[in-house]
Structure formats: structure tokens, C-alpha cells
Structure 1
Amino acid sequence: MGKKTDTTASGQSVTRRTLHYFMQVTANRKGMFAAAILVSMGYSLFLSYGNPYFMGRIVDLVSVERVSPDQVLPTFGPLVAALILTNLLGQICSKLQDYTNWKLQIGAAYDLARLCFDTLSNQSMTFHTNRFGGSLVAQTSKFMSGYRDLCRSFLFSIVPTCASVFFTMSILGSVVPAYAGVLGALLVVYLVAAYLMYKRVLPLNAGAASAQSRLSGELSDSVTNILAVKTCGREEFERQLFDAANEQVRLAESARMRASMNRGVVTAGIIVVIMATASVFTAGGNAWFNITPGNLIMMFTYTYTLTQQFNFINIVFQNVNAALGDAHDMTVILDEPKLVQDAPDALPLSVREGAIDIDDLTFSYADARKDGFALDHFNLHIPAGQRVGLVGRSGSGKTTLTSLLLRLADIQSGAIRIDGQDISQVEQVSLRSQIGYVPQEPLLFHRTIRENIAYGRPDASEDEILAAARDANALEFIEKLPAGMDTQTGERGVKLSGGQRQRIAIARAILADCPILVLDEATSALDSESEHLVQDALNNLMKGRTCIVVAHRLSTVASLDRIVVMSEGRVIEDGTHDQLTKEDGIYAQLWDRQTGSFLEA
């Protein structure tokens, strides 16, 4: 029972936070929001209450005495004119209600989209590696649609219903006080019952939304890796995973449906009691309280209009629950602290020479065992302009080191300094703008080749882009494409081969012309001929720059100024290629295996 209470309390907390974000963007347009409320109340007043009121007055006049034909216009003319004016004003309010609602939603959607994008783009790589990209996209879309649905429910249902309660009790209270008192008591019972059952449904909506997000993530993961699915013949396995996630959605939606139906049955029963009370008062109102026929019609019509709106309030609550449930997951993400944040007084990084000092660096991943350090009291000094190769077996900490240098994850202990400046105290954007990075897996957008090459320098000229492509040995294949530089690369560059994607990524680094260069297996996807040509370009690019080259293929780093061999997050060997091959160490063993020298022994 305690666990359930905690979950419910947590769900209510997230709901409050969701409403906080929604109210923030609404407050930016408080004038439009106030206008939307006013015209929604006007719509209810004129069409739902103005018409019955003036019609009741006509019925009272008719019931008093017969009106001669020549007196119809003088007697009823003002009331008919009032009816026409009431309908005209009601229709104007209706159209203004549509307009203000659209304006409010369009503006708020813009703000919410920007809020979600800024939050996701400024989160750490640790955050993103633990989540499905497809789920994040779906959660963003559902968060925005949650606001739209909540806004529509509020302006088109909740506001008119609240206005109806106010108008009904105000008008009938002055005409039939006894009936207004009974009706008011029944409405209080209805609202209390609806609210209590609403609280029971709320966590079920959050659960249903989470299940939907998991289903979206499973579908996205399978579709994204469809080639692996097909080549491994694992369609049935993926189908089972999808079915399991789909079953969770079915169960969650069924639980929500049952709770909503139970609430609907209870509230429908209360509405029957309200209408039964209205029928009794209408039948005996004239005899018991001397109520005029017009007021009887007005009383019954007002009550019926009110119960119709309350009858749909179950659907309104369901829509509100669904909207808040849809927004639940993104609200949790928006409330998550950023794992990597700029210091309050962070300054731009100023790279004068490019010297890198790594002092007593210790780092472990969140899912690692207690003593599982990716980097363990790691120390390294790289003088300005030196080209350093990082080698070692998989899991030795090479890529982790480059990630920390770029602050894709934050340092847990120790420090990294560039030209004496602690990178944890400088602006992240300025840090990364000074480091050219080419990862093992090329990072291409579904845009043109030109846009991908110029991504780090969008103001580059066409000649500079072509020169970078030429230096990366990419221009030759680009010119053979039908659209040349305007060729769309496809999602993650799927329209290009692995070597072509890598050369585009290298061209981007060449064009960026940063003082520090990090190459993480940058030539691993190239064939021997392309590797030789690109290596020449990289050698020219690395001149005069501080370079860190991560490589398993030792021929890539053999000509560098210095090679650092890593194992279990520590430096175990450090020297030039010639020095290390003369020693009977890890590097010499790796070199022998890759060159085949060990076969001659």
C-alpha cells in the first residue's frame, strides 16, 4: 500500500510540474488567455442562457392573455430583437473563441518546442546514451500535444461549465431559491465524486503514457537497426519484444479505461438524480411555488444544459488525464538536472598554444562496478603542437579520455587544463569550438553534403568547402554523384558508404581548422588506398596543432611524435614508435601482431 501511495504522490508532483511549465508559456500570452476565457464565458452566456431567458419571457406574455395580431410586434418586438442580438453576440463569441484558442496554442507550441529542444540538446551524452532517440522525439511531440489538448478542454469545456454553474445559480437563485439550493447541493456531490475518482485515474494515465513511450522506443530501435535485424534473421525476436511492449500498452490502457468507466457510471447516476429533481420541480413548481410557465421552462432548460455539460465532464476529465499523462515523461526529463553544466562564472576558452595537461583524472560510469574505473588516477602532459597517439586494447579508456576532454561527460576527480585553463570552468560551447573532432562513427545529418562539411563553419565559402573535400579525398566521389555537393546523405548518411561518410566527417574537421584535433579511429572505415590519401591530408592538417589520435590500427599512429599506451585507465607505456617497438611491452606485441612480424620469429 505504501508503494502505491508513493507512486501516486510522485504522479501528482509531476502533474504539478507539468502545469507549471504549461502555465509559464501561457503567462507569456496572458492577454490572449484572458480574452479566450472571456469569450468562452460570453459564448455560454449568450447562447446557453440568453436564449432560454428571453424565450421564457415570451412564454410568460403568451400565457397571461391572448395578444391580438396588431399587437404582436409592439408586444414581442423588443424580446425578438433581444433574441436576435443574443444569437449574434453568441456567434461572435464562438468565432473569437476559436481565434483566441488557435493563437494561444500556436504561440505556446513554439515556446514548448524550444524548451524541449534546448533541454535535450544541452543534456550530456550520458543522458542520451541511456535513452531511445525515437522515444525522446515522441515524448516531445506528446508534451506539446498535451498542452494543446489541455488548452482545448479548458477553454471549450471547463470554462463554459464553470460559467454555466455561475449563471444557473445566479439566475435561478433569484427566481426559485429552494430549487437553486437543492441543485447546488447535488452539484457539490457531483464535483466531489468526480474529483476523488479523477485522482485514482491520474497515475493510470501516466502509466499508459510511459507504456506508449516504451512501445515507441522499441519500434524506433528495431526500425533504426532493420539491417541488423534482417541480416541476423531476428524478425521473430524483434516481433516478440514489440509484442511484449504492446501488451504493456494494452494492459495500461485497459486499466485506465476501467477506472474511467467506473467514474462515468457514478457521475451519470448523480446526473439522473439531478434531472429527476428538475422534473419534479417543473411539474409542481406552479402549484407549490407559483412559478410562471416561462420560469419553469427556463429552470428546466438551464438545468438540462448544465447536466449536459456535466455529462460530458467525464470525457473532459479523461482528456485532461490523457493530456497530463502524455506530458508526464517529458516533464520528468525537463526536471532532470543537467549532468554537465557551465560554471556560473564560466568564461570563453582562449587557446593560445594548445598545451593539454591531465592531472590525476579518475572517472567511472554510472553502471560500472564499484571498483570499475574507466580512468584511474590518469596523468598526461601534451605540449602545444605535439601529435600524440592513444593506443591500447578495447576498454582501456581511450575514448573516455576524449569524451572528458570535450566535456561530453563531466570530470569526477582530477582536472584537465588547456593552456592552463581548467575546462570545467570554461564555457562548453567555446571549448568544443576549439577542438576538431572526428569520431569512429561518422556523424552526418540528413542534409546535403555541402551542409554536412560546412556544419562547423557555416560561413565558409564554396571554394573553402571544395578545398576541404579535396584534402579529405572526398571531392572525387562527390563530383561523380548526380547532385554533387547538393546530394542528400540520408539519415545518418546511409546513402553513402562507410568510407565516404568518414571522409565527409574528416572534411568537416579540416574546414573547422581548430587548434586542437581529436581523431577517434578516424580512418578505420577507409580502404587502404583511401586511408593512404587521407592520412597524407591528416598529416598536413596536424602540423602546428595539438593532436590526439585514438587508433587500434597502429600504422595510423606510427609516424606521430609520441605514442601513449593505455591499459585499465592508466598510462603503461609512453614514447615514440621506434622507442616502444624496441621494448618488449604491450605496444611491441600489438605491433608484431598487426604487421605479422611474430610469424618470422
Structure 2
Amino acid sequence: MNQKGSGAVTRQTLRYYWSVTRKHWPWALGDLISSLAFTFFLSYLNPYLIGLIVDRVSEGPTQPDQLWTAFGPVVAALVLSNVLGQVGSKLQDYFCAKLEIRASYDLTNLAFDTLSNQSMTFYNNRFGGSLVSQVQRFVGGYSTLCDCVTYSVIAIASSACFTIVMLAGLVPVYVCVLLVLMAVYVLVVYRLYSRILPANAVAAAANNRLSGQLSDSITNILAVKTSGREDYERGRFTQASQEVADADGRRMRANIRCGAATSSIIVVIMACCTVFLAGGNTWFGVAPGTLVMMFTYTNSLTMQFNRLSSMFQTLNRALGDAYDMTQALGEPLLVADEPDAKGLTVTRGAIDFAGVGFHYPDAPDDDKVFDGFDLSIPAGQRVGLVGRSGSGKTTLTTLLLRLADLQEGTIAIDGQDVRGVRQASVRRQIAYVPQEPLLFHRSIYDNIAYGRPEAAPEEVLRAAEKANALEFIEKLPEGFDTMVGERGVKLSGGQRQRIAIARAILMDAPILVLDEATSALDSESERLIQEALATLMTGRTSIVVAHRLSTVASLDRIVVLQDGRIVEDGPHAELVAAGGPYEQLWDRQTGAFLEG
């Protein structure tokens, strides 16, 4: 991994994290103040008060009747210091937790909003499970970073400052030596651990790939089992798991080497402290209580410095975990709305493809699916798109839905260029039923109502009835409350498709796009669904993509595509009589004719 590129991603991660921290600054400020109070009262004021007691004791015995006069104020101050320190500790936990909760909420929304606005090309190149893992690691990285700053960074920085301030006036020579050693320590730690950051990013990426591999295997478990490929998938998973182990091993060895170097500097610091403790009174006349303070403060500081090594490990791990998601958040939106884009208004539903030129983003510019493509569909017309696989049928509907943006020409609905309006408004005007039904792991009712969430229950029921789905739904033990499983796996293919069609019926959009929508149905269900779709298509502009020509034979018009070009265009009977490509396709599907 390029170290320069890794640094840029890390800085971007920190910008994301800082933006949410700044938004919730009162909690961050409370966290800082309470952390400083906790460290000062328990680690610095306490030893200072103990030093006063030691100095008083070293002056000679104290009479019993003078005991409270001599030590009472210091003891009271010591008790108060501990009370304030413990209060600071609990407030530190509270403010830190509140900050993490609120910031994590914002970061989760940021990731969700960004990912949900990405194009299908973005998702086609990534594992869904890996993206889930990346979001979790990105958000978890903030919590890890916040804990690290609260319980390590602030403690270490404040310990260094308090040590210098408390001892500067008492033993200036010692403080100067300590400052030099601390500067050397921080510089060495920073340089060593900045080199480990790429290793952390590599390890996080390996973990994300492992999550993606696991998700891919589980999602397609039926294919794995029916192919008897459990051992093959186990091999792929083992390889991905081994990559994680190797990456973690390299990161661990690098951390240990860095830790060994920093520990050596700690030994030097404590050695200097010991020399000053032994000769401080003789050389500089340092009081016994001050010697106690010197040792206590230095020992506390070195203990904090010992945590500096693990702190950098934690910081590196957190930033490495966030690496992949930060890159994803920085991906340009291949399909983006104009800043002043308005909603699409459909009054008729006329569709015009004019001079359309399109190639997929990951394909060469000259490898075009469409080049100067023209097609006009009048409002209310029912059009079938047919042709061999790869002819551009589904791509055409993808462009209409703005799941991808064309590079040349225009696609207009009622004269409005779809690239000039909000893409969500385009999709709300188009009821889309794909070949593979898009169902959530929710109830049947929720899946149908997804087309129009505000619909009344009786409208949902009517939509199910029109889609020929009501009969099988009512036979289920839980009826409309039946959970369909991930992607609808608890239903048959035909049942899933009928649920998807019911959703489109409920949506009641002026434009209808069916992409092999009846391909999963048996003959009887197809006949009933065709009747429902015929009613649904009445008065609506409809585009039907089909391989089974019986699906489109009764439509107003059939457009035959070949290599992104229109080779035939007309009604079914006219095209059959013409003896061209459509007639050849029709002959291959004997007995598939559906009377219109």
C-alpha cells in the first residue's frame, strides 16, 4: 500500500471524525475538563500533599496535641482531592460515552446516506457483506479513537504538563533533562508508528475481504450445497482467513519492535530519575518531600509513556479499520443530482431516447452499449423490448431509471431530461419489476406496502389480489405477517414475483417497467398475472423486457434490439409476417403465442 496515499486517507478519516466531534463540542469539552481534573487531583495533587506531609515529618516529631494543627489541613485537602478526582473519573466516563453515542449516530448516517446514493456500478464491484463490515469498523474506529484520546492521549499530555509545572520551580535542572528525554521519546514513537499505519490498513482490508467472502458464501449457500462445493468454499475461506492471520502477524511483529525501542528510552528516563533521587539532596539541597514528588511524578509519567506505545497501536488500528470506508466515502457519485434539481412531474408519460451514447464506467470509451440510439414511446403505449442476451434491453431500462447516467444524448420523460431532475423523483414515477424479485427480510405486508408505505391495508389487500398473490398469502399460517426471509428465500420463485408485482400495482405509477417479470411463474400463474398486468398497463406507458415472446405478443409495439441498435419495430403480427429477426426468435418458441 502506498504510504503517501495511506496518509491522505488517514487525514480524511480524521476530518470526518473531527467534524462530528466539533458538532457535539459540549460533550467533548466536558470530556476534556473531567479528564484533566481526574489526572490532576489523583496523580498530581495527591503526591504534592503527601510531599508536604513528608517535609513536615522530616522536621522532627510532632506532639500529639499539635497533630491536627500540623496535619489537619493537608489531610482535609487530601480527602477533598480524592473526592474531586473520583468525581472527575465518573464524569469522564459519562462525557466520553455521550460523545461516542452521538458521534457514532452521525457517522452511521453519513455512511448510510453516502452508500445509498451510490450508483449500481459501485455496488457491482463490491461485496455487500464487506461494505457492512467497513461501516461497522469505520464507526467503531471513532469509538476506539475517542477512548484512546480520553484515557490515554489526554492523560499522557496532561501528565507531561503537570510534571513540568509542578517540578519546574523546585528542580529546574531535572525538568530540563526530563524535557529532552520526553521529546526524544515522542519523536521516536511517532516515527516508528507512522510506518506501521499501512500495515494496519492492510490488516483491516484483509478482515473486510474475509467478511465479504463469508457473506458471499452464506448468501449463496444453496448454490454451494447443490453443487457439493463445501470443500471448495472452505478452501477459499481458509485462504482469506490465512491472509488475515498473516497481516495481523506482520502488524504484531512491527508493534513489538517499536515497543522494544520505546521501552529502552523509558529505562533511561527512570535511570536519570534514580540518579537525581540519590544525589538531589546533596547536590541541589532538594527537600525529602520534593524527592518523593519527583519519583512519584516521574514514575506516573513513565507509566503513562508505557501506554503511549499501546496508544499508538490502538490509534493505528482504529485508523486502519476506518481506511476502506473512508475510501468508499470519497468515491465520486457516478449518478448525482444537480444542486438545483427539481422533482419530475409526469402528466402523460411520454418517453424519448435521443442520440443516447453509453458505455459502462469500467469499460473502454469505444466499447459502447449504445451509440446514437433513438427511440420514442408515446404516452400510454405498451412496448416490448426483445433480443438476444447482451443486446442492451436491461441497460436501456437502467438508464431510464437513472441507475446509471449516459455519456451522450438525452432521455426525456414528458420533455424533461431525467439528468436534470432528482433521480429519486424519477424512480417514484416508474413502477419497476425486475427478473429477480427484490424482497426485504420483512413481512409480506411490508414488502407489498413498500411501493406506497402510506397505503391503507385494504389497498394492500387489493394489490395482492390483483397480482394473484392473495390466495397463497391467506394459506400461510401468519398470512400477511409472514416473514419472507433474506431476499424472500422462504417463498417460491413464483410467489416472490407475485409479491413484487403486487408492490408495483400498489405503487400506481404512470410508467411501468417489467424486466422478465413473469419469467419465474408457472403457466397458470403467468396467465393470471398477464391478465392483472394487462389491466395495470391500461393508460400507462409500459416497457416490457422479455425473452419469452408470449409476454410481449399482445403489446402495442415490439422493439427488437441487436448490439445496441433497433433492427425491427412494430406490432407482433407485422413482425412475424416480415420474416426478420423477430420471426426467427418466434419460431424457436413454438407454442408460446399468447392471444392479445
Indicate the TM-score class for this superposition, using the shorter chain for normalisation: over 0.9
Structure 1 residue corresponding to 2:142, chosen from 147, 159, 170: 147
Does residue 287 of structure 1 match 2:282? yes
Please name the residue that 1:273 is paired with.
Answer: 268
Structure 2 residue corresponding to 1:220, chosen from 215, 224, 232: 215
Residue deviations 1:301-329, cap 9 Å, x none? 00000000001111111010000000111
Cα contact 2:217–2:233 (8 A) shared by 1: yes
Measure the CA separation in 2 of the matches of 1:388 and 1:596.
Answer: 22
Structure 2 residue corresponding to 1:230, chosen from 217, 225, 231: 225
Q: Secondary structure at the match of 2:391?
A: coil
TM-score, normalisation: structure 1:
0.97
Aligned partner letter, 1:243: T
Q: Secondary structure at the match of 1:573?
A: strand
The CA deviation at 1:347 is 1.3
Residue deviations 1:324-372, cap 9 Å, x none? 0001111001111111001122111111111101011121123435543
Structure 1 segment 306-385 matched on structure 2, within 5 A: 306-368=301-363, 371-385=366-380
Q: Secondary structure at the match of 2:455?
A: coil
The CA deviation at 1:70 is 1.4
Does residue 54 of structure 1 match 2:53? no
Please name the residue that 1:572 is paired with.
Answer: 567
Please name the residue that 2:79 is paired with.
Answer: 84
Structure 2 residue corresponding to 1:64, chosen from 35, 59, 63: 59
Aligned partner letter, 2:116: S
Structure 1 residue corresponding to 2:473, chosen from 475, 478, 495: 478
Does residue 241 of structure 1 match 2:248? no
The CA deviation at 1:254 is 1.4
Cα contact 2:201–2:321 (8 A) shared by 1: yes
Identity of aligned residues (%): 60
Please name the residue that 1:437 is paired with.
Answer: 432
Please name the residue that 1:13 is paired with.
Answer: 8
Residues 491 and 341 (structure 1), Cα distance of their counterparts in 2 relative to 1, 3 Å cut: same
Structure 1 residue corresponding to 2:546, chosen from 551, 554, 562: 551
Please name the residue that 2:100 is paired with.
Answer: 105
Cα contact 2:159–2:301 (8 A) shared by 1: yes
Q: Secondary structure at the match of 1:410?
A: coil
Does residue 595 of structure 1 match 2:584? no
Cα contact 2:549–2:592 (8 A) shared by 1: no
Please name the residue that 2:492 is paired with.
Answer: 497
Q: Secondary structure at the match of 2:196?
A: helix
Q: Secondary structure at the match of 2:292?
A: helix
Measure the CA separation in 2 of the matches of 1:233 and 1:375.
Answer: 40
Residue deviations 1:179-231, cap 9 Å, x none? 11111110011001001101111111111111111111111111110110111
More displaced stretch, 579-588 vs 372-381:
372-381
Does residue 401 of structure 1 match 2:401? no
Cα contact 1:373–1:568 (8 A) shared by 2: no
Structure 1 residue corresponding to 2:195, chosen from 184, 188, 200: 200
Please name the residue that 2:162 is paired with.
Answer: 167
More displaced stretch, 87-96 vs 371-380:
371-380
Aligned partner letter, 1:26: T
The CA deviation at 1:116 is 0.5
- Runs (4+) of structure 1 moved beyond 4 Å? none
Q: Secondary structure at the match of 2:65?
A: helix
Structure 1 segment 255-270 matched on structure 2, within 5 A: 255-270=250-265
Structure 2 residue corresponding to 1:420, chosen from 407, 415, 437: 415
Structure 2 residue corresponding to 1:94, chosen from 78, 89, 92: 89
Q: Secondary structure at the match of 1:381?
A: strand
Aligned partner letter, 1:574: D
Measure the CA separation in 2 of the matches of 1:525 and 1:68.
Answer: 99
Q: Secondary structure at the match of 1:544?
A: coil
The CA deviation at 1:597 is 9.7
Structure 2 residue corresponding to 1:251, chosen from 246, 253, 256: 246
Residue deviations 1:235-293, cap 9 Å, x none? 12212221222222122111111111111001000000000111111111111111111
More displaced stretch, 254-263 vs 105-114:
254-263
The CA deviation at 1:94 is 0.2
Measure the CA separation in 2 of the matches of 1:595 and 1:518.
Answer: 26
Measure the CA separation in 2 of the matches of 1:188 and 1:499.
Answer: 71
Measure the CA separation in 1 of the matches of 2:164 and 2:122.
Answer: 53
The CA deviation at 1:376 is 2.7
The CA deviation at 1:34 is 1.0
Measure the CA separation in 1 of the matches of 2:175 and 2:344.
Answer: 72
Measure the CA separation in 1 of the matches of 2:338 and 2:284.
Answer: 75
Measure the CA separation in 2 of the matches of 1:388 and 1:443.
Answer: 23
Please name the residue that 1:135 is paired with.
Answer: 130
Q: Secondary structure at the match of 2:228?
A: coil
Measure the CA separation in 2 of the matches of 1:211 and 1:457.
Answer: 41
Measure the CA separation in 2 of the matches of 1:370 and 1:46.
Answer: 67
Measure the CA separation in 2 of the matches of 1:532 and 1:307.
Answer: 80
Measure the CA separation in 1 of the matches of 2:365 and 2:516.
Answer: 29
Cα contact 1:376–1:568 (8 A) shared by 2: no
Q: Secondary structure at the match of 1:149?
A: helix
Q: Secondary structure at the match of 2:517?
A: coil
Measure the CA separation in 2 of the matches of 1:369 and 1:199.
Answer: 38
Cα contact 2:359–2:406 (8 A) shared by 1: no
Structure 2 residue corresponding to 1:73, chosen from 64, 68, 75: 68
Q: Secondary structure at the match of 1:560?
A: coil
Cα contact 1:211–1:245 (8 A) shared by 2: yes
Q: Secondary structure at the match of 1:345?
A: coil
The CA deviation at 1:596 is 5.7
Measure the CA separation in 1 of the matches of 2:591 and 2:391.
Answer: 23
Structure 1 segment 171-190 matched on structure 2, within 5 A: 171-190=166-185
Measure the CA separation in 2 of the matches of 1:8 and 1:183.
Answer: 33
Measure the CA separation in 1 of the matches of 2:217 and 2:425.
Answer: 37
Aligned length: 593
Please name the residue that 1:456 is paired with.
Answer: 451
Cα contact 1:356–1:384 (8 A) shared by 2: yes
More displaced stretch, 159-168 vs 361-370:
361-370
Measure the CA separation in 1 of the matches of 2:50 and 2:275.
Answer: 22
Q: Secondary structure at the match of 2:521?
A: coil
Aligned partner letter, 1:225: N
Measure the CA separation in 2 of the matches of 1:345 and 1:114.
Answer: 23
Measure the CA separation in 2 of the matches of 1:159 and 1:300.
Answer: 21
Q: Secondary structure at the match of 1:395?
A: coil
Aligned partner letter, 1:29: H
Cα contact 2:550–2:592 (8 A) shared by 1: no
Residue deviations 1:54-78, cap 9 Å, x none? 0010000001010011111111000
Measure the CA separation in 2 of the matches of 1:394 and 1:143.
Answer: 40
Q: Secondary structure at the match of 1:476?
A: helix
Where in structure 2 are there 5+ consecutive unaligned residues? Answer: none
Measure the CA separation in 2 of the matches of 1:515 and 1:207.
Answer: 49
Where in structure 1 are there 5+ consecutive unaligned residues? Answer: none
Please name the residue that 1:560 is paired with.
Answer: 555
Please name the residue that 1:30 is paired with.
Answer: 25
Measure the CA separation in 2 of the matches of 1:287 and 1:367.
Answer: 77
